[in-house]
Amino acid sequence: MTQHPTAATRRPANRGPKAAAGNRAALISAAREIYASQGLDAPLSTIARRAGVGQAVLYRHFPDRDAIAAAVLEENVRQIERAAAEGSALAEVLGVLTWHLARSAAFISLLHADEASGHPRHTRAFARDMHDRVEHALRECLPDGHRLGGPDDLMLAVSMVSGAVGGPTHAQREHRALAAWGLLGVTVGPVRPLRD
Amino acid sequence: MTQHPTAATRRPANRGPKAAAGNRAALISAAREIYASQGLDAPLSTIARRAGVGQAVLYRHFPDRDAIAAAVLEENVRQIERAAAEGSALAEVLGVLTWHLARSAAFISLLHADEASGHPRHTRAFARDMHDRVEHALRECLPDGHRLGGPDDLMLAVSMVSGAVGGPTHAQREHRALAAWGLLGVTVGPVRPLRD
């Protein structure tokens, strides 16, 4: 099996479609880590370096700053969709969601699409689309009679937990998120990204 | 009894310490309304006009933009403290808190002091102080055995509700806040400011 590069491993540039997919995945993973520690204004060169690729490779995949940020958020949402599609219990999917919430302020604001009215129309449309996809994924695995079963309750709860996520470290942010889910009486599984 | 000027009434400039206190109250009330509809960048001249005073009067009370914003937030917190000190039930005090949450994005970020780490030190100290005063006031009227009785639960719940408050109108923001309190199983009294 091909070993996928992770953000932690420096790797030489290589060729071919498999390598291109690997580079793209490494760039997204690196961008997620860099954004979490340095914010969305972090230099793109830092992301390329962390992914172990040259800047030319980065620009081949992502023409500008917005493109790579959108790709990170798209990947967050896709992980939640995949977890739901695999038939995971709601608690497992909320664990994946919470992992991303604790790592991405951008993901949090995305799930507050209603409040993003100061943003340009295409940003709001993007946020609304992501918001709806997360809601759809969670609803797929919502058991009958769950306490978040009301029409707006699922995403209301997500925005409440998002609002509570604070603190300088991942650990503190995760801790706050789990305390918030607990106050809502909602069980959350292990807080972790979805593994391939 | 002296009739206090409200933001809605235009009033001629007048003299003396009573009038000065009245002007100050009218400016704070006008600023709260203007901030809620136009944001914190609204021109100070708009605030003075709404309060029915000249700009010179505004500057006599508030030397700069930050001073009047701080006075609005101080007044929000003081209303919550007064409601608690008057022996109101927790639900009543949460009604006053929710009224202010639905009207002030600045008040919401104030109650997220932990996340304000991008702000200068004196802003964070101000936010932390306000946060602690709100917590203290709420705790004063927290009944034994209340479901927010855990050490961090009160302000965790406030930050969760703050996070859920969204939408373009006061009515929608209030509706979201009340739905959030409902999801937490917390009873909230009438959503209104504290009357003199």
Decide if A115 and B166 are in contact by the 8 Å CB cutoff.
yes
pLDDT tens for each residue of chain A, 196 residues long: 444 444 444 454 555 777 888 999 999 999 988 887 787 788 999 999 999 999 999 999 999 888 998 999 999 999 999 999 998 899 999 999 999 998 887 788 777 755 545 667 777 888 889 999 999 999 999 999 999 999 999 999 999 999 898 887 889 999 999 999 999 999 999 999 987 6
Interatomic CA distance for residues B136 and B183, integer angstroms = 24
**What crossing angle do the helices spanning A90-101 and A170-183 adopt, rounded to 10°?**
140
CB atoms within 10 A of CB A76: 26
> Would you say the ipTM is above 0.85?
no
Contact check, Cβ <8 Å, A183/B160: yes
Cα separations in angstroms, A92 against A58, A84, A97, A147: 33, 9, 9, 16
Please name the residues in contact with B81: beta carbons below 8 A apart, sequence gap of 6 or more.
Answer: B133, B136, B137
Residues in contact with B51: Cβ distance below 8 Å, sequence separation at least 6, in sequence order: B5, B7, B23, B26, B27, B29, B30, B31, B58
Q: What pLDDT score does A169 carry?
A: 84
CA distance A66 to chain B (A): 22
Q: What is the pLDDT of residue A122?
A: 77
Query: Which CATH number does B16-63 carry?
Result: 1.10.10
Contact state of A159 with B168 under an 8 Å Cβ cutoff: no
Q: Count of CB contacts below 8 A, A vs B?
A: 62
CA distances from B138 to A24, B113, B186 (A): 50, 17, 13
Alpha helices (runs of H) in A39-119, residue ranges in sequence order: 44-51, 55-61, 65-85, 90-101, 105-110
Task: Tell me the C-alpha distance between A54 and A51, whole Å.
Answer: 9
**Residues contacting A145, CB < 8 A, separation 6+:** none
CATH domain A17-63 topology: Arc Repressor Mutant, subunit A (1.10.10)
